[in-house]
Amino acid sequence: MRPLRRFRPLPLAASRIAGFWLEVWKCWRLTLDWTVQLYIALPALFVGANMYRDAWQHPPEWFAIVTPQTVFALLGAWMLRARLRTFADPGDGLFLRRNRRWTTKLLAVGFAYTWLARLLLSAAAAGLLVPVLDIRLHWTFGTGASLVAASSLLGYVWALVRDRVERRRSGWSRIAVSWLIRAGLMAAWIASMTAALHRPVLLAAVFALLLGASIALTWRRALARGTFMQEVAAEDEAYVACVRILLQNSVGIRNKPAFRKPVFSLAGRSVFSKREMTQRIAELWLKAGLREGENIRLLIMLTLLGMAALLLSPLPLAAVLWPVLGLLVLFRLHGQWRQWEQERFVSMLPWPPGAPGLAEPLARSFFFLPMFGLWGLALGLKAALMYGGAWWIAVPAAVAAGWALGKLLNGGMTAFFKSRSRKRQDNRERSERPV
């Protein structure tokens, strides 16, 4: 590409798209060396291809429980991960953003890229589901193609809605509003596609609605002003999403822009009424966790998944599963505490000996007890819905029992962690002792 042509709007956008994926590929290439390809990637592809072929020749039993709503839900969840891409560069703020001709064309390329990416991903997902669509549901190629096209429009609409929400809100309200809209779109998507299945008139109405929403939202987004910082943040998060699994514990992940606000701001506020050393250490960890949006999303996801597991399991199994899930969450919170305790700015603080060990169970209970209580609420609701009558007393009883059992589990895990730490210290002293 000639230098003069490259700095026109469309070639510039194309070079940025190519540069983005080249950077992502270079990051993955550091991990996918010949040993990983030979011993992990190629065997995984071989096994996956054989399993896919066997699904065609010998359909597994779980095909019988797959319904059209399951396919709609899978594609909808895949599409509701979309994000509007404009490939904005931080250097654009110097002079390029003042040129409306350049901005308009770059934004148009971003719109087209966002929809085409959704279309390709939807087609890839539908391609993997072809055995189910053909053998179990007996769909024709036209039905599958219409599903792919409709789901790509759903992803495009969500990308524009998400961009608008993230520009107008911050902190916990952004997360709450985003998930509420996601839930509403998912419910509307499954209901409308279920009604429109094998009904061309209703399917055309769904297409018209999605297309009209896409055009209206695109027009509003094209007329928006003051979106530059949000576009830069979206590009940064898109890069992180592509390489997060590789660089979670590396400095290679780009820092988010400073204008992004924390999810919960507790600056200048005290979490605990007592201000002793134990409470202060626990408060430092809690505030660090509440400032991270990813941590809050993961806790909400764990809570919802735990409630779903208890509601969908038989009642005796759910009663056994309840404390097991609690122990797994406690192990995870303990790992988070240990990682935070080893941070450079934390380890240099002059704490009294043993103070972090006293603060950890107090800090863990702040996140664990509400989650465990909600799981108890789900267990009580399951028992009440199954048997009715006097069993409705199980709802408040399960919540109260969850609070007491949660404290017992937290205390037991604290004793276990202390015993394990003491054994490690003894083994270390024994190994360092001169023979």
Region 207-228 average pLDDT: 91
Q: State how far the Cα of 123 lies from the Cα of 144, in Å rounded to an integer.
A: 9
**pLDDT of res. 396:** 86
Q: Which residues, including other chains, have CB under 8 Å from residue 309's CB and lie 6 or more apart?
A: 318, 321, 325
Q: Measuring CA to CA, how many Å separate 256 from each of 87, 163, 184, 229?
A: 16, 16, 29, 11
Q: State how far the Cα of 82 lies from the Cα of 122, in Å rounded to an integer.
A: 11
**pLDDT of res. 123:** 93
Kindly indicate the confidence band of residue 262, based on its pLDDT and cuts at 50, 70 and 90. low
Q: State how far the Cα of 435 lies from the Cα of 433, in Å rounded to an integer.
A: 6
Reference 333, options 274, 267, 269, 286; nearest CA is 286
Q: Are 238 and 87 in contact (CB under 8 A)?
A: no
Between helix 315-341 and helix 355-387 the angle, nearest 10°, is: 160
pTM: 0.65
Q: What is the DSSP letter of 313?
A: S
Between helix 277-290 and helix 315-341 the angle, nearest 10°, is: 100
**pLDDT of res. 272:** 63
Residue with tokens 């109405």: 205
Residue with tokens 């830069």: 232
**pLDDT of res. 264:** 53
Reference 232, options 386, 393, 382, 83; nearest CA is 83
**Residue 268: left (phi > 0), alpha (psi -120 to 50), or beta?**
left
Residue 65 has pLDDT above 90, yes or no: no
% pLDDT > 70, the chain: 89
Residue 155 has pLDDT above 90, yes or no: yes
